[in-house]
Amino acid sequence: MKSTTILLSIFLLLISSGVEAQTKPRPKQNPPSKAEINKMMEDVLNAEDMSKEEREEMKKMMKEVMPALTNKKTNTADYGVFTDNKQLIPKRDAARINAIPKKAFTDADVTVTTTNLYNKLMLRAKANEKSIIAKVIAKEKKGSSLMAAAVIAFLQGHNQAAMGLAMKAVLADPKNTNYQNNLAAILSQSGYPEKSIPYLNKIHQQLPGNSTINNNLGFAWLNLGELDSAKRFYDAAALRNPVNPETKLCFGLFKELEGDPIEAFVDYVDAFEEIPNPFAETMINNRKAGDHINNLDFEKLKKRISIHEFFTKEWIKLPQFSNSVNGFSSDQSIRDGYDIMYEKLENKIAALEEAANAELNALYDKGENEFKKTLTRESIEGMNMMSKPALYITIMLESYLPEMMQNFKQEYTELEKFIDEQRAIRHKTGPNDKCKDSDRKANEYMQAVNPRIKEIYQRHLDKFRTWLNAWCTWKWYIVGNVKNTVVIDYIGWVRYLLDLHRQAVQTLEFERATCVEAKKNSPASIAELPIPSFNCPVVVSIPVGLEELRLGAEATGLNDNSFGITQSGGAMPNVTISFGVGKSSITEPGLYGNPYIKTANGSINQSGFNYADNSGDELTPISKIPFVDELTPPNPKLPTNQKNQKLTKQDAQQLLKAKLARQLLNKLMTADCPDKIKKPKLKIDIGKIEFEDEPGINIEVGEIEFLDESNISVETGKIEFVDEPQVSVEMGKVEFEDMATNGIQPTITNGLGAPGNSKNFVKGLFN
């Protein structure tokens, strides 16, 4: 019955994606409602109530759809199965601990040690892993390209190839601290933490406060069973960067080991809230503390997840009436123009809905059994590496929707009461009232109620637009657009948003003058509200160096890369990869607003690529950052010790670089439309790129020019990047030559995993 339960859950997942949008009764030949389909599947899959014929039907159906499920499970192997969080703690390995060099690495030691490790690796690595290494190094010589290939191999489950390519990257640029960190992280994740510690110790001496380095040192010691050392480094990482989901999980694990399961649970949930993923959920479920997903706060979530702007700000714009009886004719013309526009949109929506339903209707005409079987099989085939996080997020969105609607209902009730009160004042007459008195009261009434109406409706329209953009972004990822079920769902929401906009316009008040005949104007020409093209799943292109990885509803892996590195059938590592500007920078996930992706149990989730609700950056704008003589309010994206202190110039550097990384990544989140010319890939090193919504910024061959010098407020007028002498910030100009030639650089932060699960582990590989 276990396979049956899996099948049912996947099928229900599909059904919730689209059929619920069919809110109007349909002719008999159309597909059943969501409730009818749920009941139908429940009846078919209920083993106790099945008849002999039904069981035979079920067997036949399972036989046809299970190959798709089996194939999908093979391609998304889980990274470690554990039912007790304490299983994540390995036994202390004294032999490997004692083998760690006591002397700190020098630059020369990095080169010598890396060369020795590479030679030993190439002697004992598997043939297919050595083949990947040889293929890449035959055409790639730059450290940034070699590291990009190493990260891709790492994500694809080729640990030995990843180690070898990371070693070649370090040898190509032996002073690059980020490359050393990534090599160390890959070594630890591949089962060789004792080989990673000398590299990390060296970097730690250079950057003692960096939370990524402290986290990776903690992870390495943890995997050697040396808990005291591990806790010391994890404590340091958590102190500086409490938003790092990997650090938070480990911080909670130590609390659980110390006998404080309640506080541990809080840390696990916090880590899940930072970026929903199945590994964190497993740690939460192992505490058996009940439901947690439905209680998560979307107001916090929307600042952390990526949201594509399907619905633009045009959907929250409302007309400005004159609020005067003298403007009645103009106001009436505007209202009539909106009515015409709404009618046109209604006709378009109806046509879109009919076209979207055609494929689903045709399938249902083939019979219920074929309908169930096809939807189930295609939903399984549509599962991809982003399906699990998407499911978590849509559950949160579903939970938040009633709350948002209830809040608006309460606001609307108060608005109606206010309008009634103002209307009573408006119609209160005096014994000597004349026309001008009535007109004056009408003007006062409109001036009182219309701004309140606009404010309440615009706020709710914007909240709902943000929610709907998130919904439309993430629904794609669950099982794809099987038989247009996702598009049907979205079209239903367009109609709701249109009705909400129409209600807002019709609630606005306008009145004619009492003693003057009103002139009739023709309806105003109102631009139509833009309906998104819903045949375009959202694709996030992740730049790894100058290489791009595409994450989308149609992508089941990361096989589309220029290195030709395909998925191995092994396990995707449980790590966080943050992105930064400058190849030597070791970025810290979330800190300063650094964007990142989280991989876990065959899934990927991305965080921080959007501007929260797409109406602005949640971080303080660069132009308003206080440097020396002002205090900054607490900000979770700043180091803990900086939250209530003066920002340093180094903080300004990091904020600027993180903001740039988010802007670039945000531009790479697009709707992939097969019927349109695809948006060109974002390449920093070729030509000129203009940010359309930010005309003050141009990017040209490694250069960013702030056309308005007031965008930068720096006391000295200049900031030098200490670790990158070729990069400087000056009044009115920022140069990033390194980014032009090396692209956005990835930094690996290690995450927990069940011991001994690396399929590529070879005992004695480096003996």
pLDDT digit string, tens, across residues 378-402? 777 777 888 888 888 888 888 889 9
Cβ neighbours for 695, distance < 8 A, ≥ 6 positions apart: 707
Q: Could you tell me which residues are beta bridge partners of residue 188?
A: none
Q: Which pLDDT score is estimated for 760? A: 62
Query: What's the length of the chain?
Result: 767
What is the rounded CA–CA span in Å between residue 639 and residue 656? 15
Cβ neighbours for 595, distance < 8 A, ≥ 6 positions apart: 578, 579, 606, 607, 608, 609, 658, 661, 662, 665
Task: Report which of residues 674 and 660 the model is more confident about.
Answer: 660
The CA angle 372-377-379, to the nearest 5 degrees, is 95
* SS3 assignment, position 705: strand
Question: Are 702 and 735 spatial neighbours (Cβ–Cβ below 8 Å)?
Answer: yes
Phi, psi of 525 (to 5 degrees): -85, 110
Using CA atoms, how far residue 181 sits from 476, 559, 587, in Å, is: 35, 25, 11
Supply 29's token pair: 């030949």
Is residue 741 over pLDDT 80? no
pLDDT band at 17 (very low <50, low <70, confident <90, very high): very low
Is residue 590 over pLDDT 50? yes
pLDDT band at 186 (very low <50, low <70, confident <90, very high): very high
Task: Report which of residues 284 and 653 the model is more confident about.
Answer: 284
CA-based nearest residue to 309, from 605, 555, 666: 666
SS (H, E, C) 170-209: HHHCCCCHHHHHHHHHHHHHCCCHHHHHHHHHHHHHHCCC
Task: Report which of residues 250 and 655 the model is more confident about.
Answer: 250
Average pLDDT, the chain: 77
Using CA atoms, how far residue 680 sits from 396, 543, 689, in Å, is: 33, 14, 11
Is residue 725 over pLDDT 50? no
What is the rounded CA–CA span in Å between residue 213 and residue 246? 12
The pLDDT tens digits for 436-479 are 999 999 999 999 999 999 999 999 999 999 999 989 888 888 88
CA-based nearest residue to 163, from 177, 178, 145, 151: 151
Using CA atoms, how far residue 254 sits from 3, 89, 230, 591, in Å, is: 36, 10, 10, 22
CA-based nearest residue to 474, from 308, 267, 315, 284: 308
What is the rounded CA–CA span in Å between residue 642 and residue 636? 10
The pLDDT tens digits for 331-358 are 999 999 999 999 999 999 999 989 888 8
Torsion-angle region of 232 (φ positive above 0: left; ψ -120 to 50: alpha; else: beta): alpha
Cβ neighbours for 642, distance < 8 A, ≥ 6 positions apart: 632, 648, 651
Most confident of 178-187, 508-517, 647-656: 178-187
626 CA to centre of own chain: 29
What is the rounded CA–CA span in Å between residue 152 and residue 142? 16
